[in-house]
Each structure stands twice: as structure tokens, then as C-alpha cells.
Structure 1
């Protein structure tokens, strides 16, 4: 058995599809794409690839309520048009490559696409599919370097010299995917929602600094700073599609540096190195996944074959599937999943099903029983009959007695000594499987050994598959040196007994 917690992504709690669809329709970039799809018609002219003709960009900007004279208006219109085309909100007929009689390229045409009707008449899932397609377009754009760099990297033939640009499209896409995966994990673990947004340098450091590195070098900190500025540009592009809430890097902060080198040193000596206050941290950028963003990144993970659970998806599964899954969840998420599972079931039958699923001498058995005990905790008198039915079960009898006693049930039979020791081993094995070697576990071990005279003379004989494993852990963790030594001797006897 392993002392490490079950290796799985924490489950996320998502709003309903209807709520997420409303968020998608409210995302500024997606909303602009919808408006341009409705604007498209016989007057619309496009170039090869569906790009809106330059002379029509001011008109498109005006259709979006933007100032055509403002440089930003046509840029936002162009972005929204690209999303509209890529998602099928607009159908494009591209121009004939042969051109007209004078050799000039003819314009193609555009019209509202069939999928535009889904915006108002489709199911929430269909709206979300459109939004996911829009997200892919934005992610692809975010992985492209700035246009100035592209212009500088054009060779004599007008082709992009990728070596000169130092840009690898696949590498950039992988970097952004890795960033979003880390942000997803931080959010699912509670950082993004419970503890506030993630400082941009923290996210950049998670991509650059190896986990086993001690004090990062100046060169590594400079890489963190470069990654931070890269992320600042990318999150600025991702915010309008509703993926993130983002506070950019304070431009005045960058202006304070005399040159790029001092800017890198300034950011590296700041949040990457620690020691500054919260107000200063916010100047380096803050980011958090929105609920819609959490949904989007999870959908991409599922598409890639990554197991990314969501609370509530086990509601129609059996108790065996429930307990196996929540054994790898953090306690709060496990409780939420269990509550949803119980909500749709007849209490007495659900309790009996949970108890049956908790049995087993396999490695996962102790943690299943711990989660079963957690599931039974809020049950009322209707569970008593099913719980009493397992009082004589060697694996569940101790659990049953604990539940009955905690619920004030009379006439609970006292457990024999063998059951007490078996339950002790099972409980410690479950705690190790759930949380690893925590600081609280030695206190539990001390309490158990102090309340049972001759504990180590008897516990090694317990017929539980985790006996030796638990005793070895006690030998490492028990706060009393004498007890720790006795535990190691008992573990040796248990190993010998098990062959």
C-alpha cells in the first residue's frame, strides 16, 4: 500500500448548463461575434480564408457600437468576425482564386450561418458547443506572438522565418495548455475560488521552476519574469471570451524600469522571490478561472482523455462506483458528491447499498469504509435497521457500532477485542490513504496506544491486509520513541506472519 493520496484531479463544482450558457452569451467577444453574424448579408465582402475586407471593418465596428475612427474598433471587429466564421455563426463563400478578367481578386460573400439560430433557439448544451468552438479560435490566437515580431521575422520571399522568430507553434500551444491546466488544478483545489485569484508570477513560476529546485537562480527568475509578461499578453486575449477574470500587469510598474533587464530583475525580486505585500502583488497581475472557464478547460481535458471529474456526475451510478471515485476526492468534494448521490434514493436501500460496497480486503477497502462512514453520518433513524444488519460483519461491525453509538441508539453490543484492533488498523490505513502522513496522525497513534495495554503485543496478529503497513507507518511517526521501536518490531512479526 502507498501512503500517498489517490492521484486524481480534484472534482470541480460547475453551475448548470443553463447558467453556463447565459455566461457564454454574455462573454463580450462571443456576443460581438453573434452581432456580426446578424449583421452579415449581401453587402458583406470577404477575402480568401473568410477574412472580412479591410474597407468593411469600420462598418463592422459601427455595427458593434464601436467608434470606427478609434484604432481599437476595427481590431475588435476583426477578432469577432474571425470567431463568427470559425464557429459557424457566419457562412462564407470564398472568392474565386482565379480573380476577375483584370486579374484582380474577387470578393467572396458572407451570410448568417445555420448555427446562428442556436443562439436563441438551441439547448444550453448547443450554445456551449458554439462557445467551445470560439474558445479554440481564441486559444490559437493567444499562442501566436505579437504582430511586430511576425513582421520582423519575414524573409525576402515574404515567408515567416520561424528560426529567426524563435517561435514554435506546437511549443507555444503546449505552454498555454500547461498554464491553463495548472490554473485549473489550483482552482479545483480551492485556490482560485476560496483563496482569491492567482498572482501571475506564481502561475509563471509553476511553469518554469522545477519542483525539486531549492533557491532559484537569477537566470531562472528572469525566465519567470519573461513567462509572466507572456502570460499577461495571453490572458488579455482570453478574458473577452469569458475564460478568466484578469487584472493585467500594471503598465506603470514596467515603465518604472530603465530597461528590460531591470524590469526582469524587478519582477524577479518581487513576487517570485517573496517578501512584498498584497497590494504590490496585485500590480504584477492576478488571474482566476471563471465558472465558464472551468467548464471550458475541463471540456478540453475530457476531449484529450484526461479524467477530470465534476461533482454530481456519479448521481446515477451504483454505490460501488461512488465509493471508489470519492476515495480519491478531497473530503469536502467527497461529501458534496455523496449528498447528491443520496438525494435521489430511498434512504434505507441506499444505506444498505453503501455498506455492501464498503466491504473488501483490497488496498482500497479502508478508504472506501471511511467514505462510507462519512456518507452515513447525516443519516437518520431510517438507517438503523440496515446498520444493525452488519453488526456481526468482521469488516463493517466496528463501523456499525460507531454509527449506532454516535446516534444515541440503545443496546449497542460492545465489540470484542479482535474487532477493536481490526478497526484500529483499518482506520489508520484509511487516514494514510486519504491524506498521507499528516501532522495529526501521530496524535491519533499516541491516543490509541495509550488506551490499549499491550497494544503492540496484540496488534501484529490482526488479520487485516494493511496490518504490517500500518505498523511500519507507526514506527516512523509515533511521537514516543519507545512505542515507535515496539511498532517496528511488531511490523516485522506481522510481515513474517503474512509470509
Structure 2
């Protein structure tokens, strides 16, 4: 896909705030100030707050919404089907994430109310009590795990603002809605999940953590603190593709245990940017953005990193003010990155909520036929796809399955055509499992039904098994040939040509079928015939100019006939 095209489309997508998130009242145990959307943890660094509360969230608007599903489809980006643990196992993983669970425990500790000072800070005695009773020290057990040493250190702290074990859980609990402050008291918030409820706990983790990371990866680092003379650089950064977001999408589809080389990915993504100061600046910004995103995911059990070196805090400013040879010496290693099963589940939940198809292997037994047919192209393994079909078929009688598959073939748009392309593999399994002959009777009836798409798919299947039915649509084979190319007509000449040339070494390729019926394809009356035939003509021109000419003539006739 074209990163420039994707960037332009993503600029219209209102994903600055994760789906379902709310703005919470933010603060710290001592009222410390941090930049909007950030918190300061024990390491002294700033990290993005969860829950989609980044600084750009205020600018969201409902106008001109474009679904992320449409954007990814427009650039031909399809998420592969993945394996995920069940809900109980994912919830068990969440319970092993120290920082998140500390925030949850703190919310339950606040319960019906804990007294705060006029500055909305826990009193020192209560703060020490929270660290012990809510076990907040578990966020950093190496530093705070020794009971006697911890008691002595906390006894010397005179303000909750300086109580390190409390800082991170308090910030996250407030921002996630696990704690709410009212009238100088801290209460359990409305968003606080039951620790024993797997569904509620997993949903809270996904909203708070995965939402923050995805939002951060979509918002390219702003240059708000630049001197006024360097403000035009914003135009450069606004044109940069969201490579860190695309990195998450790429990592999502990797096989289990496989790593993504971050440097190679970012370098490939900047291929169109020539060497020079602009490229070095964008690279430095991307590295900062990657470390923030990956660090957030890693902190909350969603990702793993290996071989990375944190960049200097002032790396970007050093590049701008001191030049490429000043300040930042060399490029810090970004190492390798991968999502954990928990991280993959969190990213999937957000993408599905945004309308992006993201099938899970082994999860479609109870789905309708439309969902099954739409998901099958995402399966990278033919074995997994066959097992999914078998599991789906086992959950219903063969005749009912035949009816559902035929009904799912209705429609004339590219997505409908893509489902029809998958229908033969499912119908073949249906016919093989049918011992009564009722499934075949369903196909015979549907083949003469005159329902666009349904009748064509049923008649096509009967022709495949050598039992064509009388009374089927005239030019049905030609209609299906045009329909089969429809989902790929907008993918570009090269992609369409590769599909036409694919096939068995000894056997008929799609290109051969196309050549045999080219002169009659327009007669089928497919609603997208002129568009598809025109695209086919351009795709085959480099390999068969005579066929391209025939297809252009057919496209003209199709356009004239409508």
C-alpha cells in the first residue's frame, strides 16, 4: 500500500480517543503538574496516561467521520486471522500486570470514601496505609518489597506527593475512573472493575491500556515547544505516515514468538523521504514515538522489547539546534518488538470496535455464514481455514448450512463478491457432509431464484460438480468471471495481473478463462462490468495486448448497455 495515501486517509479518522473512553479528572497524590495526557512515574520520566486522554482528544469532532475499516480496505490492508487465548486465560494475564492491578486495588481500597486534604491529597497516614493494604508496592517489588525497609522509608515521608509507591497507581486510578474525587474524599469510581469478574477486568484493561497506546501511535509527536522560527517544521511532521501505528498492525499479524525488527520497519516506511536533515528529524521523532508507545505497552503486559536503548530526552531538539553532528551522537538502537497475546487481544478489541474485521481462529462456529465467508480470506493457513469451516458446519445441519451460505451471497458490491469467492469451499464441505441430498436441492432451487448473487453462486457450484440446472441465469458463468475480479479491480494493475496469472502449473488460470469468454463478458449484465473490464484490460496489456483490446471493447459495450 501507499503510505502517502494511507496518511491522507488516516488524517480524516477520528481515532484521537479510543472507543468508549471518557475523560477523567486527573491529578497526582501531591498535585504535581505534568504535561497534558502524561504522568510521571518512579523512573522520573513522563509516560502517556491511559484511557485516550491525550492532548489531542479535546479537538475531536463528530463531523465527516471515516471508519478505520474503510481506510484499511482502501489501501488493501487486511488483518490476518490470529489465535488468541480464551477470556479466562487473558484475564489471568491481566492479573499478573503489576501497575494495572495496583490501580484496581487502590480503587477498591478507596471504597466508600477516604479523606483527602484540601489539596485533594491523601493524608500521609492514609497514604502509607494504602501502600500496605492495597499492596501498591508490588509495582516495584525490587525497590519496595522488603517489609521492614519499606516501613522505615515510608515513615520518613511527610507528604503523599513524595510517596513513590502511590504515585503511579494513583495517577492511573484517577484517569481510568477507578477512583473519583468529590468533596475532599476519594471514592471507588464507576469504571472500577470487579477483580473476580474476568469480563469486566479484561474490558477495563483494554480500554485503559490498549486505547492509550493506539492513540499515542496514531498521533505523530507534536513540536509544540519549538522556537517560533521552526514552526514550519510542523508541516513536515503532519505529512509523515503513522508508521508506529502501522508497526502495531504489522506486529499483530506476526506468528507467535516472531519478532519485528523496528529499525528495518521504520526505514522501509521512510523510503520516499530522501536523505538529509528532514529525514533525520522524522527518524528521531519516530524513535521517540516508538519508545513511548512500546514502553506503555510493555509496562502493562501488552508487548515485549529486546535490544533497545532509550533515546536521549533532548535528541530531537539537539538535531534541530546543534545539527546532525551535534548533541545526539549516532542513533540509539530500537531493537526488536512483539505483542504478547494480551496485547494482541487489546489491539483487536479496539480495531473491532472501530469496524475493522479481525477474525480469531476457531471462534466462528456460532457465527452466521456471512461472517464466515468474510473472514476466510484472512486465514494464512489452508489447514486453519478448513478446520474453521468444519467447525462451523458441525454446529448446524447441512441443509441449513446450504441455505445460510447461499443467502450470504446476496449483493453486488466488492465485499459481497469477496464472500462469493469463498462460497465454493464452504459449499463443497456442505455437499460432502450432506447424506440426505437436501443441501443439493437447496442449491437447485436457489440457482433459478433470480436473486442477484445468490442464484449466480448456487448455479456456479452446480456447474462445478457437473450438475448444471435448467433455467439458470443466461451468461451466469460470465457474470461470475466478472464478479470474481471485482474485489481486486481497485487494487492496482500489478496486483490484479498477479491474480490472473496465479494458478496450477498445469491447469487453467483465471487469465485463460478470461480469454475464452472475453467477448461475451459484457452480456452478463453485471452492475460493475464496465469498471471491472476496464481494469482487467489495463492489467493484461503487458502480457496479452490482443486480449486487452478485446476487454476494452467489452467494457465499452457494458457501459453502453447500462
TM-score class, shorter-chain normalisation, is 0.5 to 0.7
Q: Are 1:426 and 2:483 an aligned pair? A: yes
Q: CA RMSD in A?
A: 5.3
Q: Are 1:381 and 2:433 an aligned pair? A: yes
Secondary structure of 1:287 counterpart: strand
1:369 deviates by 1.5
Q: How does 1:147-166 map to 2 (within 5 A)?
A: none
Change (3 A) 1:320 1:354: same
Q: How does 1:276-287 map to 2 (within 5 A)?
A: 283-287=333-337
Q: Which residue of 1 aligns with 2:265?
A: 202
Native 8 Å contact 2:263 2:334 kept in 1: yes
Change (3 A) 1:353 1:50: same
Return the match for 1:308 from 337, 343, 356.
Answer: 356
Q: Which residue of 1 aligns with 2:417?
A: 366
1:162 deviates by 6.6
1:118 deviates by 1.7
Q: How does 1:168-207 map to 2 (within 5 A)?
A: 181-188=245-252, 190-191=253-254, 193=256, 196-197=259-260, 199=262, 202=265
1:199 deviates by 0.8
Q: Are 1:481 and 2:545 an aligned pair? A: yes
Change (3 A) 1:484 1:438: closer
Q: Are 1:241 and 2:241 an aligned pair? A: no
Structure 2: distance between partners of 1:251 and 1:353: 54
Return the match for 1:10 from 64, 72, 79.
Answer: 79
Change (3 A) 1:475 1:309: closer
Q: Are 1:296 and 2:328 an aligned pair? A: no
1:370 deviates by 0.8
Q: Which residue of 2 aligns with 1:125?
A: 199
Deviations 1:122-157 (A, max 9, x none): x212212443465389769989xxxxxxxxxxxxxx
Secondary structure of 2:498 counterpart: coil
Structure 2: distance between partners of 1:495 and 1:40: 70
Deviations 1:2-55 (A, max 9, x none): xx994476376443322221111111212344566687799x985566555679
Secondary structure of 1:284 counterpart: coil
Change (3 A) 1:491 1:47: same
Change (3 A) 1:205 1:418: closer
Change (3 A) 1:78 1:218: same
TM-score, scaled relative to structure 1: 0.64
Q: How does 1:95-110 map to 2 (within 5 A)?
A: 95=184
Structure 2: distance between partners of 1:308 and 1:52: 43
1:467 deviates by 3.8
Structure 2: distance between partners of 1:374 and 1:252: 51
* Larger mean Cα displacement after TM superposition, 292-301 or 220-229: 292-301
Task: Indicate the structure with greater helix content.
Answer: 1
Gaps of 5+ in 1: 96-107, 144-160, 168-173, 271-282, 406-410
Structure 2: distance between partners of 1:242 and 1:182: 20
TM-score, scaled relative to structure 2: 0.58
Structure 2: distance between partners of 1:321 and 1:429: 19
Return the match for 2:530 from 456, 468, 478.
Answer: 468
Return the match for 1:356 from 407, 425, 434.
Answer: 407
1:291 deviates by 2.9
Secondary structure of 1:249 counterpart: coil
Secondary structure of 2:337 counterpart: strand
Return the match for 1:346 from 359, 378, 397.
Answer: 397
Change (3 A) 1:214 1:340: farther
1:289 deviates by 2.8
Aligned pairs, number: 424
Native 8 Å contact 1:205 1:224 kept in 2: no
RCO comparison, higher one (Cα < 8 Å, 6+): 1
Structure 2: distance between partners of 1:162 and 1:343: 61
1:354 deviates by 0.8
Q: Which residue of 1 aligns with 2:168?
A: 79
Change (3 A) 1:77 1:246: farther
